Amino acid sequence: MLKTRIIPALLLQNESLVKTFRFTKPRYIGDPINTVRIFNELEVDELIFLDITATKDKREPNYKILSEIANECFMPLGYGGGICSLEQARKIFSIGFEKILLNTSSHLNKYLISEIADVFGSQAVIVSIDVKKNFWGTHEVWAHEAKQNIKKSPIDWASEVERLGAGEILLTSVDKEGTWSGFDIDLVKKTTDTVNIPVIAHGGAGTIEHIREVVKQGNASAVALGSMVVYQKKGYGVLVNFPDKKELEKILV
């Protein structure tokens, strides 16, 4: 098992997998259950599923598809999307997920972080922070599919969610997401320098070298991959895959 976790981050839209570009233009990737089976065979250490429309549609998580995923999956699972109560989190944990991710709901009720962490432990709570640069190049936190500016510094918000009991942060650069152009190293480094909990860097991975950079230069504890694990390469068709573990071991020593 790799010391640095490399985690496929898969986007759910209804009961299908999709991939977005800067949080827009969702493109159909395939069936989540078949994808899980492939990742089982590839012996991936961990998976994250994010329902990108649950909050917008004002609906609860799709427990049916989550149950099917959990029944098929051999590795630890995280889920985010539409979770706005302790009872919803409890139901997802009972299905077989080990971690839940809070994003928009954490802005509506930040104490939900503490409520869930107090019952299930901080290790079970990941706060997802979506970040965009403004006109002047300053990082700002966004929510609601990156359509609502929360007008907070990601550094300040990361510190607050740590204090509230989050066990990890999924830090996503909206500007980089789906671009294959590399991570926002500056954003990741400022965040990891500020908090003591693990930071999962997400948004922009296109090569093995990008993974090395965000771990070595940004001090990311883990890396979440989207495009790299669902496409053959940039501009090519769908192919569920995972970077060669021997190559990852070399760059992450």
Active-site residues, by number, are 130
Q: Helix 111-120 to helix 154-164 angle, to the nearest 10 degrees?
A: 40
Give dist(CA 18, CA 16) in Å, integer. Answer: 6
What type of residue sits at position 230? V
Beta bridge partners of 125: 100
Work out the number of other CB atoms within 10 angstroms of the CB of residue 244.
10
In residues, how long is the chain?
A: 253
To which residue do tokens 């409520």 refer?
115
